[in-house]
Amino acid sequence: MKRWQFWLGILISGLFLYLALRGLQLQDVLGALRGARYAWLIPGVMVYFMGVIVRAWRWQYLLKPVKSIPFKQSFEIVTIGYMGNNIFPARLGEVLRAVVLKRREDVPVSASLATIIVERVFDGVVMLAFVFLNLGALSALEGSSGFVGSIQSLAIWGAAIFLGVLATFLLAAMFPEPTRKIATWLAERLVPERFREKLLGIGFKFLDGLEALRSPREALMIFLTSVVIWLFETCKYWFVMHAFDFQVSFFALMLMNGIVNLATTIPSAPGYVGTFDAPGIAVLEAFNVEKAVAAGYTLVLHVALWFPITALGLYYFMPELKYFSEHGLSWFSSKRELEESLEITD
C-alpha cells in the first residue's frame, strides 16, 4: 500500500475506468446484464480451461530440458500463477509461479523465469498477429475509440519489440556457448567484481531455461501451441457474446482479444481493472455495438475470465499457505527480501 507502484496502478486503472464508463447510463448497463443468458458462460469457461490445459503442457514442454515436470504439477502451478496475476499487482503471479515450482520441484528460479518470459514473448507475438489480421478494422477503431490512438503504430512498435526479444532469445538458445562468452565479457567490464559471479550464475541458469528454443522445430511447436491457447480464449469471448444481444465476427473478437491483452501489460490495479475493460468496450463500439451492451458484455467476460481460474488457483495454493504464512509475503516488499525468497543464490 505504501509503494508508489501500487498507487500508480490504481491511478492508471482509474483513468481507464473513466474512459470506459463516461457517457454510460447505469440503468442501460443493468438492463443489458439483466437480459443476459448466463448459461452461455458454461461452455465459455469449459473452452477456456482447455486453453489452460494446453498452456500447462506448453510450460511442461519448455521446462523439459531443465527438468521433467509431471503434467499435474505443471497445471496446478500455472493456475496458481493466474491466481497471483489476478490478485497481486505487476503480474507477480509469474514470480509466484517460479517460487512454487522451486519449492515443489527444486527447479532454479532463474531457469523457470526464463521459460515464463519465453511464454510471454510468444503470447505477445500471437496477440500482435491477431491485431495484424484485422488491420482493416483498425481505422474504424481509431475513429471511434476516442482514447486508443493509433493502434496501427502501436502494433508496429509492439511487433518490433516482441520480435526483437524473440530473435534475441532464439539466437541465445541456438548459440549458448558464444552467448555465455559474450555475457562473461560484458560482466567483466560492466559489473562490479563482488556481484559478477552471482549475476553470471543467474544469467547462465536463465540461459538453461531457453534450451527448449534450440531448434526451429521446437520454436515452431511453442508458437503453434501459443496460437491454440489464444484461439481457445477467443472461443470463450465468442460463447459469452451469445449471452448478449449482439453479433460480431470471430475475427472481430480476435482483434478484441489481442488489443485487450496487449493493454493489460500496462501497469494497473490487481485484476487488470480498467485496462481490460476500456479497450474491450472501445473495440466493440467500433463494430457498432451499443456502448451499454458492450460494457455489460465486457464486465461479464472480465468476471468469467477472472473468477474461475482464480478460485482454482487458490485451491491449489492451499498447501503453500503454511509456508507463506510462516515466512510472510515479504518477497513483495523489498528487493533484498525478494532475492532471499526466490533463492537467487541457488
pTM: 0.85
C-alpha dihedral, 88 to 91 to 92 to 95, nearest 10°: 150
Q: Tell me: the pLDDT tens digits for 161-219? A: 878 888 888 888 888 899 989 989 988 888 888 888 888 887 887 887 788 788 888 88
Q: Note the pLDDT of residue 151.
A: 58
Highest mean pLDDT among 5-9, 17-21, 210-214, 236-240: 236-240
d(CA 231, CA 188): 45
Cβ atoms within 10 Å, residue 239 = 20
Q: Note the pLDDT of residue 212.
A: 79
Task: Return the C-alpha cell found at 42.
Answer: 458454461
* Residue in 79, 24, 104, 28 with CA at minimum distance from that of residue 277: 24
Q: Tell me: the pLDDT tens digits for 104-125? A: 999 988 889 889 999 998 998 8
Helix axes 71-87, 41-63, angle to 10 degrees: 120
